[in-house]
Amino acid sequence: MQTHEIRNRFIQHFVKAGHTEVPSASLVLDDPNLLFVNAGMVPFKPYFLGHQTPEFNTATSIQKCVRTLDIEEVGITTRHNTFFQMAGNFSFGDYFKEGAIKHAWSLLTGSIEDGGFGIPAEKLWVTVYLDDDEAHDIWANKVGVPEDHIQRRGMADNYWSMGVPGPCGPCSEIFYDRGPEYGVDGGPEADEDRYIEIWNLVFMQNERGEGTGKDSFEILGPLPKQNIDTGMGIERVAFLLQGVDNVYETDLLRPVINAAEELTGSTYNANHADDIRFRVIADHSRTGLMLMLDGVTPSNSDRGYILRRLLRRIVRSARLLGAKGEVLDRLIGVAAETMTPSYPEIADNWERIRRVAVAEEKAFTKTLAAGEELFAQAATKAKSEGKTILSGHDAFTLHDTHGFPIDLTIEMAEEAGLTIDRAEFDREMAEQRARAKADSQAKKKSHTDLHVYREFIDNNPTVFTGYDRLADESTVVGIVSGGEKTSSASEGEEVELILDRTPLYAESGGQMADRGRIVTADGAIVDINDVQKVGKKLWLHKGIVTAGEFAAGVAAEAQVDEKWRHGARQAHTATHLIHAALREVLGQTATQAGSMNKPGYLRFDFKYGEQLTADQLRQIEEITNEAVDRDWAVNTTEMPLEEAKAAGAMALFSENYGDVVRVVEIGGPFSMELCGGTHVAHSSQIGPVSVLGEASVGSGVRRIEAYSGLDSFRYLTTERLLAERLATEFKAPSAELPDRIAALADKLKAAEKQLADLKAGQLLANAASHLDSARTIGDVTYLGLNLPAGTGMKDIRSLATDLSKRLADRPSVVALIADGGQKVPFVVAVSDQAVDKGVKAGNLVKLMGEKVGGKGGGKPSMAQGSGSDASGIEAALAAIESELA
C-alpha cells in the first residue's frame, strides 16, 4: 500500500466518523518552545491549553513534523526520521478513551475493501499506563485484545505531557509484531525492535506542574474537559504495510537512495557504514525539501542553521560515498517527486527551493576547499613536531568554527598518515552540546497565561468593523491592568480595553495596529497606541487613560486616527503592488517571506537568491507606479479558501487560513492575494511609491524598502533639492551629474594611487638610510622602526621585505610599525639564519599585538598584524628588543 493511499485512508476513516479535516500547519509556528512543529497536536495546543475555543468538537489531520535532537544518530537506527508525517485524531470534550481506542482499532484491523489497513489483529499488542484500569478494560473486554497482548508500563513510557506545565495524561500505545526473525518474544516490554510502536493514544485528563524529565513532575488535578490526542506514524505504518525492513526503503525514500547510488557509484546494503550515509542522504533530502517549502533558508542560527547542517550532511555523505560533482539538485529533486502527490504546493515552489539548495551546495564547496587548506596547515604542523596524532581541538575547531565535517577530517588524516584524537574531539563536542542544551532549557518556558482573557474569547469575541468605518459605538466589556481583570481604571493607568465591537485594526499580516482613542459620554478618554489579537478572536486595545475614569460595561465610542489609517492603507496596498511587480520582473518564484507596513513606509521580504540590479529595481518601481496611475479599483471579497486558491489568489503556505477568506484584488490578474488588512479604495489613492533599495536579510531572502504617499513625495523632494545643489556645484545639468561625478571619482582614485606610489617610492628610497639604525642584540641584528603616521600595511610589508633582503647575510630581525589612523599595522621579517636559531616572526608579532591592542600571525620568516592602540607603538618595539635579548 503506497504512502499516499495510507494517508488518504486515514483521513477518510475519520471524516466518515464525523471528524473535521484540518490541513497540516507549517513546520514553522510562532511557539517559544519549538524550532519546528514536532508533533501532530502542536497546532491544536491553544485548544488543549484552553486559550481558544475550537470551532469543532472532533478533528483529524496529517501534520508535517521535524525532530532534530539527534541529527548525528540519523541512519544508525532504521525507524527514525528527522521529517515525518503524524496522522492524528482529536477530541475536544467529545469522545474519550473508548472512542479513541475503537476508532484506532477499526482502522488498523478493518479490511482493505472497507477502507482499513487490513492488519491481522494477532499482530498487534497494546500498552496502557500502570493504573489505567479503564483503558485496560476497554482493550480486553470491549475490543477483545487477549490479556497476553496487553502490557502495563510506567510513567516514562505511558504518561504524556508537553514537557512544561499544562495538559497531561496517561496514554495507550499500539505495537506491531514483526515476527521472531526481528527479536525475542515477549511484547514491547521485551524488544521494541521486533515490536514497533505505530500509534499513541493520549488520554488528556490532568494538568501537570513544574518538573523535568518524563516522570518527575507533579499532577495538579483534573482538566475541566477530557480531551483526546492521538498520533499514528505514517512512515512506520508504510514500511510495515509495504513489506520492507525499514522506513528508508519505502516508496518515499528508496527512490532517493537509488539516485544516490547513481551519483556516487556505491551500492546500498553493501556495508553498514555506507548504508548509514545513504539513509542520511535520503532522510535529509526530504527534510531539507520540506523545510525550504515552508520558507526556511540556510543561515548560521536557529532554524536556518538546522537546514544548513542537514544540507551539508547530504553533500558530505555523498562525497564519502564517491560523488565528485554537485548532488543536491538531483537528490532533492527526487524527494520532491515522491512528496508532491501529498503536497502539491511543492511544484509551485520548486524553482525557489532548487535555487536555495544549489546556492547552499556551492557555498559549502568553498567551505570544504577552505577547510582542506586549514587541515593541511594543522597536519603539517603536527608532522613538523614529530606527531602522528592530530589534536581533537584542531579537529573540533575545523568542525565547529569552519563547518568542516569530522568524517572528512578523519578520512584526510588517514591519507596523511595521521589519526585524530577522537576522545578530545568527542569531549569538546559533548561540552558544546551541554552548553546548547542548557541554553535551550533556559529559553524554554511555560505557555503564556491567557486565562484572564478566556471568558471574553468564549463569550465576547470582538466584532471588527474597521473595513467600513473609522468610528463606532461600542461597549467596554472588560478591562485588564497589570495582567489582572479589573472593574475600572483611572487617569494615568495603562490598560487593555476589550470592546464588543471596534473599528481599530489589530496588528497582523505585517500591518501595524491602528492608533486612535476610546471616549465615553462623560469625557473619559483612553489614547490607544497599540491593538493586539488574542486567540484570533479578541482585540486588546492598549493605551493610557488620559482623562476621567473607565468602568466595565460603560458605553464608549472607538475612534481611529484618520491620518494614521490613511497612511497605513496606502502603504499596505502599495505592498501588494510591489509584490506583483517583483513577480513580474523576477519570476513567479519570488514569493513573500514577510512584510511590515506603517503609514508612509513599507518593507517587503521575498525569497530570491541573487542581488537585484539597478535596472530591476527601476522596473519594479515603474511597474508599481504604473499600477497606481491606472486608478484600479481595490476590490475585497469573502469566499471559501479553495475557491480563492482556484481563482489564483496568492496564499502563504506558512499561514493558517479559515474556511472563508478575504481576497484583495487589484487590476484583475495583476494582484490577487488573501489578506485581512485595510486598503485604499483605488490604487491612485496610494500616491507616488519610491523604492529606496534592497538588501539581503538571510540566505535566499531579500528585502525591498519603499515610501508611499506624502512620505514618498517628501523623499523625492529631498532628492530633487540635492540634485539641484550638485548641478549648481558642478555647473552642469542634472542629467550629466552621474558622468561628472564618476569622472571626478576616477580622478580622485588616480591621485590617491599616485600619492601612494610616491610615498612607497620614498620609503624604499630611504631604505638604505634606515640600516644605520640597526644594532646587534646578542648574535642577531635588530632593526625596529616607527614609520611615519599614515603608512599603510602594503607599504610596510614592501619595506620590511626590502630591508630583510639587505640584511639576509646574517641572523637578522626587522620590525616595522606605524600609526595608520584607525589601525596600527605592523610587520616582522626574520632572516633564514635567525629562523635556524629559533627566532620566529609569528611569535614576535604576537608580542607586538599585545602592546597595541591587536593580534597577528604568519610564517616563521614573515608575519604581520594590526592593532587599535597607537599609544603602545614604542612598547611594541621594546617588547621585540626584550625578547631578542
Residue 743 forms part of a structural domain: no
Give me the pLDDT at residue 652, please.
59
Higher pLDDT, 592 or 170: 170
Coil, strand or helix at 601 = strand
Closest by alpha carbon to 394, among 374, 414, 412, 417? 374
Coil, strand or helix at 439 = helix
- 554 and 570 both lie in a single domain: no
What's the average model confidence in pLDDT over 375-385? Answer: 83
CA–CA distance, 226 with 167 (Å, rounded to integer):
10
- Identity of the highest mean pLDDT range in 206-220, 735-749, 838-852: 838-852
- pLDDT tens, residue by residue, 444-471: 444 445 668 877 887 888 999 999 999 9
pLDDT confidence band for 416 (50 / 70 / 90): confident
pLDDT confidence band for 435 (50 / 70 / 90): low
Q: Considering the entire predicted model, what is its pTM? A: 0.66
Closest by alpha carbon to 666, among 628, 639, 638, 704? 628
Domain hosting 777: range is 763-884
Strand partners, 496: 480, 542
H-helix segments, 502-613:
562-586
What's the average model confidence in pLDDT over 77-102? Answer: 92
Closest by alpha carbon to 839, among 786, 770, 779, 772? 779
Residue 503 forms part of a structural domain: yes
Residue 696 forms part of a structural domain: yes
**Cα-Cα-Cα-Cα dihedral sign, residues 695, 697, 701, 704:** negative
Give the annotated binding-site residues. Answer: 572, 576, 675, 679
- 594 and 706 both lie in a single domain: yes
- pLDDT tens, residue by residue, 605-652: 988 878 899 999 999 999 999 999 999 999 999 988 878 877 777 765
- pLDDT tens, residue by residue, 105-146: 999 999 999 999 999 999 999 999 999 999 999 999 999 999
Residue 30 has pLDDT above 80, yes or no: no
| Secondary structure (DSSP) of 101-127 | HHHHHHHHHS-TTTTS----GGGEEEE
Residue 42 has pLDDT above 50, yes or no: yes
Q: Which three cell numbers stand for residue 507?
A: 496588528
Give me the pLDDT at residue 448, please.
46
- Identity of the highest mean pLDDT range in 96-100, 191-195, 859-863: 96-100
What's the average model confidence in pLDDT over 264-281? Answer: 93
CA–CA distance, 816 with 786 (Å, rounded to integer):
6
Domain boundary among 560, 576, 606: 560
Closest by alpha carbon to 849, among 864, 837, 839? 864
CB 456 within 8 A of CB 477: yes
Give the annotated binding-site residues for Zn(2+). Answer: 572, 576, 675, 679
CA–CA distance, 812 with 833 (Å, rounded to integer):
7
Q: What's 873's domain CATH number?
A: 3.10.310.40
CB 328 within 8 A of CB 335: no
Cα angle for residues 675, 677, 683 (degrees, 5° grid): 90
Kindly list the distances between the CA atom of residue 383 and the CA atoms of 379, 380, 419, in Å, as whole numbers in the listed order. 6, 5, 11
Higher pLDDT, 221 or 755: 221
Cβ–Cβ contacts within 10 Å for residue 192, how many? 14
Q: What is the DSSP letter of 141?
A: I
- 56 and 183 both lie in a single domain: yes
Residue 685 has pLDDT above 90, yes or no: yes
Cβ–Cβ contacts within 10 Å for residue 220, how many? 13
- 313 and 426 both lie in a single domain: yes
Residue 255: phi and psi, rounded to 5, are -60, -30
Residue 727 forms part of a structural domain: no
pLDDT confidence band for 654 (50 / 70 / 90): very low
Residue 369 has pLDDT above 80, yes or no: no
Distant-in-sequence, close-in-space partners of 260: CB < 8 Å, separation ≥ 6: 266, 268, 278, 281, 282, 318, 321, 327, 331
CA–CA distance, 7 with 61 (Å, rounded to integer):
10
CB 255 within 8 A of CB 225: no
Average pLDDT of the chain is: 88
- 189 and 82 both lie in a single domain: yes
Q: What's 688's domain CATH number?
A: 3.30.980.10
CA–CA distance, 703 with 595 (Å, rounded to integer):
9
- pLDDT tens, residue by residue, 722-747: 888 888 888 888 788 888 888 888 88
Domain boundary among 513, 545, 560: 560
| Secondary structure (DSSP) of 761-793 | HHHHHTHHHHGGG-EEETTEEEEEEEEPTT--H
What's the average model confidence in pLDDT over 788-801? Answer: 86
- 540 and 601 both lie in a single domain: no
- 803 and 870 both lie in a single domain: yes
Q: Count of domains in the chain?
A: 5
- 77 and 57 both lie in a single domain: yes
Residue 756 has pLDDT above 80, yes or no: no
When mean pLDDT is compared across 3-17, 373-387, 477-491, the lowest value belongs to: 373-387
Q: Name the percent of the chain lying above pLDDT 70.
A: 94
What's the average model confidence in pLDDT over 570-575? Answer: 96
Give me the pLDDT at residue 727, please.
85
660-666 sheet: strands from edge to edge: 634-640, 660-666, 671-674
H-helix segments, 294-344:
302-321, 328-339
Residue 510 forms part of a structural domain: yes
